């Protein structure tokens, strides 16, 4: 796994073959194919291994704070430290699968946050919906930052940026009592006004 991460970080995802990974890991190509099936599956597993080995323990051990800054900063530092790898993965053939896999890693943390934000929400499933919304929104911002952000990436600044967005969402949830938002305002379209 580490060999795949190092090769992708150095060359990019499209320039790394199964043969390259097998040689760097000092194993046979056949073993790699037997274990993973194809190159994209191996690269996806390497990304999940990296996140599971380095990022998740930091998130679990992060001090509890009311703003979530410690977790946001740990996440930003991880992605900044491994930017070349994640950039190559997110812009390669594994991009969609990697986003889905990372979403599944972060959803439980965001569900805890959603429960705190909503309190005793009267609507079943609201915390799950908000967790999915938070996870997807944060993923889009992270992707743009990792792929297009200026060098060097600034994890402190990015964590603050994420927290500003969270404040907007939290404020909206509080204004609406933690439950579903108000119905959209009714407006007359030109067709409706002609019918009167």
Q: How many CA atoms lie within 13 A of 145 on its CB side?
A: 24
| pLDDT value of residue 53 | 96
**Mean predicted lDDT score pLDDT of the chain:** 86
* pLDDT over 70 (residue 88): yes
What is the rounded average pLDDT of the residues 104-118?
A: 87
pLDDT digits over 117-173, tens only? 887 766 888 889 999 999 999 999 999 999 999 999 999 999 999 999 988 887 776
| pLDDT value of residue 174 | 67
Q: Is the dihedral of CA 11, 12, 17, 20 positive or negative?
A: positive
User: Which stretch of 34-43, 48-57, 99-108, 180-189 has the lowest confidence by average pLDDT?
Assistant: 180-189
Residue with tokens 């580490």: 2
What burial letters (b/e) apply to 89-109, b meaning 16+ CB within 10 Å?
A: bbebebeeebbeebbeebbeb
Higher pLDDT residue, 34 or 119?
Answer: 34
Domains of the chain: 53-179 (1.10.357.10)
Long-range contacts from 66-73, C-beta under 8 angstroms, 24+ separation: 67/163, 67/166, 68/113, 68/163, 68/166, 69/159, 69/160, 69/163, 71/109, 72/159, 72/162, 72/163, 73/155, 73/156, 73/159
């Amino acid at each position: 796994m580490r060999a795949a991460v190092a090769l992708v970080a150095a060359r990019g995802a499209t320039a790394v073959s199964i043969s390259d990974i097998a040689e760097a890991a000092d194993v046979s190509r056949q073993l790699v194919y037997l274990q993973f099936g194809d190159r994209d599956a191996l690269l996806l597993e390497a990304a999940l291994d990296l996140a599971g080995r380095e990022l998740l323990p930091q998130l679990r051990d992060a001090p509890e704070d009311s703003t979530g800054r410690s977790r946001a900063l740990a996440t930003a530092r991880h992605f900044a430290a491994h930017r070349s790898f994640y950039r190559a993965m997110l812009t390669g053939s594994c991009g969609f699968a990697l986003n889905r896999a990372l979403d599944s890693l972060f959803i439980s943390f965001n569900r805890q946050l959603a429960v705190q934000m909503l309190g005793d929400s009267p609507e079943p499933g609201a915390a799950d919906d908000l967790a999915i919304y938070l996870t997807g929104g944060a993923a889009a911002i992270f992707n743009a930052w990792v792929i297009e952000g200026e060098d060097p990436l600034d994890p402190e600044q990015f964590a603050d940026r994420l927290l500003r967005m969270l404040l907007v969402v939290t404020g909206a949830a509080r204004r609406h009592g933690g439950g579903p938002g108000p119905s959209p305002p009714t407006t007359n379209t030109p067709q409706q006004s002609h019918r009167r």
